Amino acid sequence: MQIEPDAQTALRERSRAVWDAEAVRDDLRAYVVEHLGDATAVLVVDETGFLKKGVKSVGVQRQYSGTAGRIENCQIGVFLAYASPRGRAFLDRALYLPQTWAANDARRAEAGVPANVVFRTKPELAQAMLAQALTADMPFAWVTGDEVYGGDRRLRLWLEEQHLAHLLAVKATEPLWASTERGPAQVAAADLVAGLPAAAWVTLSAGDGAKGPRVYDWAWAPIRPLREPGQGYWLLARRSLSDATELAYYVGYGPEETPLTELVRVAGTRWAIETCFEEAKGEVGLDESEVRRWDGWHRHVTLCLLAHAVLAVTRAAAVKKGAATIR
């Protein structure tokens, strides 16, 4: 990408300015909740890649990028988004620092990585952002994420300890406690679903997508037979209408009376963060930073998330005004 002289000057000035990216992140979170807050909202965790050349940009290495769909030289950022009936926007971000970086004092010093920053997995970064969201006392009903987060049992246990309802994707091989003919035992998610009767499957929409309603077959089964009264634990399965061999699996926890339609709604809401990534990269330059240091990455990304939130709030206000005019 060719950067114009004025843009280069702006980047230099931003790197020299004295301001706290974490404080701006707090302002971002408060702004999103003020304008888009809703008690039924879903917090969505996911990561995205930032393709880079060279080895100097903080956190860069050859690693898998879902953005590219393959192993690339890139940085990885973990993000937390807020999806409510009023709109969708980001709340937080964290740069993933690989172990090779975390253990290299020379690279850390050159990139300005703070001394208190240690290696943390992507689920650990997600947990830290969720903990921050809890301290902000924001309204939401569920937490969701893909297999990277659903496959981490420590994250799932932490969410239960915080009494946070969640629905997280897991692999077909994920072992889950369930009732069997021989009593409680661990069974792979795919095996549990394979044992469900044909009548267990129902066709439901998981919300509208770019091409209309996302309609799939869905089935669910209770798990964790030794659960506490009032608590619900489920395995949710999604099956393609056109290919019965194409399945996805989710582990859920929440109030025992939760209906299937609510779990399907939450599963569909996970795609909201993909839309946010696409918008932020296409409209506010999320993936166009020309910085190498730790503080530079967090400043650039935070300002981009704030700009994206302004657009989301403006869009929500316009939709609300349009709906009022029609009435």
Q: pLDDT value at position 4?
A: 54
The whole model's pTM is what?
Answer: 0.92
pLDDT digits (tens, 9 = 90+) for 177-199: 999 888 899 999 999 999 999 99
pLDDT digits (tens, 9 = 90+) for 68-106: 789 999 999 999 999 999 999 999 999 999 999 999 999
pLDDT digits (tens, 9 = 90+) for 296-319: 999 999 999 999 999 999 999 998
Q: Given the structure tokens 């690989």, which residue do they identify? A: 98
Distance CA 250, CA 76 (A): 24
Return the percent helix, strand and coil in the chain, to nearest 5. 40, 30, 30
pLDDT digits (tens, 9 = 90+) for 7-39: 555 555 555 667 899 999 999 999 999 999 999
Nearest residue to 140 via CA among 152, 149, 130, 127: 130
**3-class state of residue 42 by DSSP:** strand
| Segment 160-167 mean pLDDT | 97
Residues 6 or more apart whose CB falls under 8 angstroms from that of 178 comprise 184, 185, 186, 187, 192, 221, 222, 223, 224, 225, 235
Residues 6 or more apart whose CB falls under 8 angstroms from that of 49 comprise 63, 65, 66, 67, 68, 72, 74, 75, 76
pLDDT at 60 over 90: yes
**3-class state of residue 40 by DSSP:** coil
Q: pLDDT value at position 327?
A: 52
Distance CA 83, CA 88 (A): 4
Burial class (CB in 10 A: 0-12, 13-18, 19+), 310: middle
b/e map of 268-305 (b: 16 or more CB within 10 Å)?
A: bbbbbbeebbebbbeebbbbebebbbbbbbbbbbbbbb
> Sign of the C-alpha dihedral, residues 65, 300, 122, 80?
negative
Contact 256, 233 (CB under 8 A): no
Confidence of residue 1 (pLDDT cuts 50, 70, 90): very low
Contact 65, 76 (CB under 8 A): yes
Element (H, E) at 260: helix 260-269
| CA angle (224, 227, 231) in 5-degree steps | 110
